[in-house]
Amino acid sequence: MSIERVRKQFRQWKIEDRIVELDQSSATVKLAAQALGCEERQIAKTLAFEVDEQPVLVVTSGDARIDNAKFKHYFHKKPHMISKEHVEQRIGHAPGGVCPFAVKPEVQVYLDISLRAMDIVYPACGSSNSCIKMTIEELEKTTDPVAWIDVCKE
């Protein structure tokens, strides 16, 4: 299971016990915010793209939207999301549980600067009802991103 791979990865930082498994779905930003009683912008949303056949994850604040022009400027390609049918195969997590942790080795992770407006965020942990509360510094440490980027609308 994806959540067990995330839990295993988190052991190196001794944070695996901070994963929360909710009684309800947190598969969308809205559902996650309702379940956690937080603002949608505090949900660390992970979007899966294909860039030159390379799987790429972009983690943004929950209320952020991808700006096609900014994405194209950074990646030199128009944004092309990985289809739901191929997400688990390409990333290692099923839709609703996609997160930047315990992904396949070829997956590149980027953090969008929209996250910097928050002190605390809630990314998923590999299932449609799991998450973890963490600081932006912890998110950066645990994802080891390729870069911080600016690909969302203002």
Which structural domain, as residue segments, surrounds residue 19? 2-149
Q: What is the pTM of this model?
A: 0.96
Could you tell me which residues are beta bridge partners of residue 147? 110
Q: For 45-54, what is each residue's pLDDT tens digit?
A: 999 999 999 9
Note whether residue 50 is domain-resident: yes
Note whether residue 34 is domain-resident: yes
Q: What is the CATH number of the domain that holds 29?
A: 3.90.960.10
CB-CB neighbours of 33 under 10 Å: 19
Q: What is the pLDDT of residue 125?
A: 97
Q: For 27-39, what is each residue's pLDDT tens digit?
A: 899 999 999 999 9
Burial grade of 147 (CB within 10 A; 0-12, 13-18, 19 or more): exposed
Q: Total domain count for the chain?
A: 1
Q: For 105-129, what is each residue's pLDDT tens digit?
A: 999 999 999 999 999 999 999 999 9
Average pLDDT in the chain: 96
Confidence of residue 154 (pLDDT cuts 50, 70, 90): confident
Note whether residue 112 is domain-resident: yes
Count, residues in the chain? 154
